[in-house]
A and B are shown apart, each in its own frame.
Chain A
């Protein structure tokens, strides 16, 4: 396993269009996180899955955003009716569920979204 992968790496879209990103976590990891990183800022948490269940959403995740993780493997993040403010790097991370105080998160390379 080569780590967390994300596709596409870059996406340019026009305002109002829908976009979908994919994240493939490390195969044995049952937790998957989505973060958003804007220029000059640290990543901000969006949502989190344990297996196929979406267990937590940030208030940053407006109703235009939806995330899925069918069968507890890869995950998709969809943004509907994109706005210029959605332009950011979208990061995915995966981890094992911590049983003994572990659970470090491993990050993917990110998808850079530009909304024109």
Chain B
């Protein structure tokens, strides 16, 4: 079974600085997707960024980028120029590729990292 581990329960960053959130995962599959979701306090979860395992290039979305190391099974999120609105719980998630057929696409989440942004 696949597992996702986020080893940093809490992180803090100064406004305008850069912070990196860590995520490792375990799988025997070679084709899958990885995601970072953001869950602000009392608000719904939104997708920040996704990465296809078959792509070597790291995904980037504006101030958010990932460092995907497939061999090491590591998937970290870098937030540049941090803003007060970035304060939230961040969840790393794994999803098997549909091509495997056995999984119907449910996400497997880590326990999350609470990010605080200091003004």
Measured between beta carbons, the chain B residues less than 8 angstroms from A72 are none
Q: In the complex, which residue of chain B has the Cβ closest to the Cβ of A112?
A: B42
Measured between beta carbons, the chain B residues less than 8 angstroms from A41 are 111-112
B105 touches A48 (CB 8 A): yes
Measured between beta carbons, the chain A residues less than 8 angstroms from B105 are 31, 33, 48, 95, 98, 103, 105
B50 touches A104 (CB 8 A): yes
- Residues A45 and B44 in contact in the complex (CB < 8 Å), given A98-B98, A104-B50: no
* A37→B23 CA distance, assembly (Å): 19
Q: Which of A5-62 contact B (CB under 8 A)?
A: 31, 33, 35, 40-45, 48, 50, 55-56, 58
- Residues A45 and B106 in contact in the complex (CB < 8 Å), given A91-B45, A98-B98, A107-B44: yes
- Residues A45 and B107 in contact in the complex (CB < 8 Å), given A103-B98, A109-B43, A109-B44: yes
Chain A, interface size: which category?
A: 20 to 34
Check if A71 is an interface residue, CB within 8 A of chain B: no
Q: Mark B81-113, 1 if CB is under 8 A from A, else 0.
A: 000000000010100011000001111111110
B44 touches A42 (CB 8 A): no
A108 touches B106 (CB 8 A): no
Q: Which of B30-72 contact A (CB under 8 A)?
A: 33, 35, 37, 43-47, 50, 52
* A103→B93 CA distance, assembly (Å): 14
Q: In the complex, which residue of chain A has the Cβ closest to the Cβ of B97?
A: A101
